[in-house]
Amino acid sequence: MQALAVGYNKGMRTLLTARLANNTESVVLIADNLKDLSTHLGNYGRSVLWVFDTNTAKLFKQLPPAHVVIESGESSKNFASLERIVATALEEGLARDGRIIGFGGGVVCDLAGFAASVYMRGCKLTLVPTTLLAMVDASLGGKTAIDYRGMKNMVGSFYPASEILISIDVLRTLSEREYLNGLGEVLKHALLSSDEALYRFLVTQKNEILSRDAQSLATIVELSLRVKQHYIEQDPTESLGIRQMLNLGHTFGHALESTFHFGLFSHGAAVAWGTCRALEAGVSLGITDRSWADGAIKLFRSYGYDIDYRIGRGDWISFRDHLFKDKKRVDGKLLFVLLEAQGTGVLKVLDTALVQHLVIAKPTF
């Protein structure tokens, strides 16, 4: 990579600037390809530490001198990886004005972000999300985390990246499962949007999206990020009941992921499943418009999500236990995001019996 003297590379454009916690700003820049993006990264100079995983490290012929490569996968989101990043930063002489660059999927973004937030009480942070999930979710909004004792994101911080660099071409190399992992959050954002632009685009451009047409990819990333921006700017640290709306499908979804040890369902697929459960809960309580919910569930099904899946009766205890370990408890009660209609969410305490009814397979006799 060659350093440029000033300014942004011509191949990159600013997608949005989100104003977040503590008067910080996250600028999202988008490029068509990794080459343009790499030129931009060359501008940072030498006081940087790169964090890759074993997949994204392969994208480089030669890794930058100061780097950490973590094993790809959720199991790397732990204290040991955090310590490795901190130790390497220290060995490389990174000061408080240095920068950590997280180059990878959600795991790398969450981990590099957490490390940057605590290294010398906070150094600079750039994220280069390389999966659709990381682009539309993990990279923007400042949530960083590691897992602990099988519980997702139990330890972390709010620490927005100053820059988020997106290269659309990397999305074309993702596996189908990984691509659908990200699309799950895109569909969720479509339901949360105050307008119908993303929802309509997902309905009308399904074939282009599933075949990963470059322009369609750029559109869903941009529209999806704008929905997220809308919620996080109003409530950067999720303390006002606004940002919580982005957790649509997540309480159900996290419990599903945890019950099957994060193996059976990808995060996005679990969120898709959980969103459909939340729609059903809303309908059964008279909160959600039935015909709108039917349309939304149909949209999820059309993208191939196994939303009709139900857990076995024997898995209920584990599922329920994971539900009640959820971070989103308030006063010991579990809050679920339900939707009244497009873009209008509410937080509701759900009866455990209703949850059980929604997630367990009906007897087949």
79 binds a copy of itself (CB under 8 A): yes
CA dihedral (309, 311, 313, 319) positive or negative: negative
350 binds a copy of itself (CB under 8 A): no
What is the spatial distance between Cα 110 and Cα 108, in angstroms, rounded to a whole number? 6
Binding mask 13-52 for a copy of itself (x = CB under 8 A): --------xx------------------------------
What is the spatial distance between Cα 361 and Cα 304, in angstroms, rounded to a whole number? 20
Of 49, 101, 145, 170, the residue at the interface with a copy of itself (CB under 8 A) is 145
Token pair 């509701």 is found at 348
Of 59, 63, 155, 203, the residue at the interface with a copy of itself (CB under 8 A) is 155
The interface region with a copy of itself, picked from 114-122, 171-179, 288-296, 302-310 by CB under 8 A, is 114-122
Of 13, 177, 329, 357, the residue at the interface with a copy of itself (CB under 8 A) is 329
158 binds a copy of itself (CB under 8 A): yes
176 binds a copy of itself (CB under 8 A): no
What is the spatial distance between Cα 341 and Cα 343, in angstroms, rounded to a whole number? 6
Token pair for residue 54? Answer: 């074993």
Of 67, 301, 328, 348, the residue at the interface with a copy of itself (CB under 8 A) is 328
Binding mask 238-257 for a copy of itself (x = CB under 8 A): x-------------------
348 binds a copy of itself (CB under 8 A): no
What is the spatial distance between Cα 240 and Cα 242, in angstroms, rounded to a whole number? 5
Find the shortest distance in angstroms from Cβ 155 to a copy of itself: 5
Active site residues: 121, 143, 185, 228, 238, 243, 247, 250, 254, 267
214-229 in b/e form (b: 16+ CB < 10 A) is eebbbbbbbbbbbbbb
Long-range contact list for 319-322, CB < 8 A, 24+ apart? 319/255, 319/256, 319/259, 319/359, 320/255, 320/352, 320/355, 320/356, 322/254, 322/255, 322/258, 322/259
Of 330, 341, 349, 361, the residue at the interface with a copy of itself (CB under 8 A) is 330
Of 151, 214, 242, 360, the residue at the interface with a copy of itself (CB under 8 A) is 151
Contact partners, residue 291, CB within 8 Å, separation at least 6: none
Kindly list the residues in this chain that would bind a copy of itself in the complex (CB under 8 A).
21-22, 79, 83, 86-87, 90, 95-97, 114, 117-122, 143-145, 148-149, 151, 153-158, 237-238, 325, 327-332
